[in-house]
Amino acid sequence: MFTIEHDFDATVITLVDEGAATPAALREDVIITAFEDCVTLRQLDPKKDDEVVITLSISQLRELAAALNLPEGSYRLENRRGQD
């Protein structure tokens, strides 16, 4: 399950783990916040009781999306006009 909320300066997507057969195997929610110039991913680390934050540039996000559909290897995406 996921939710999408549009704030003034960002879009917030929350991913809720419902797929595991046992509650012990469930992962904490992932909160993705998309800004104009970057995307942050946040998730609670229950072992440390602390939030882990990862920030990706728009270029890194574009490369991640492409990488999910490519075989093993090394790649460089071409920049198109109007993109980072």
pLDDT (tens digit per residue) in 34-49: 999 999 999 999 999 9
Mean per-residue pLDDT of the chain? 90
As a whole number of angstroms, the distance between CA 82 and CA 44 comes to 35
Using alpha carbons only, what angle is made at residue 36 by residues 31 and 41, rounded to the nearest 5 degrees?
20
Residue with tokens 């492409």: 66
pLDDT confidence of residue 19: 78
Domain ranges of the chain: 2-66
Confidence at 78, pLDDT banded by 50, 70, 90: confident
pLDDT (tens digit per residue) in 2-33: 999 999 999 999 999 987 667 778 899 999 99
pTM of the model: 0.81
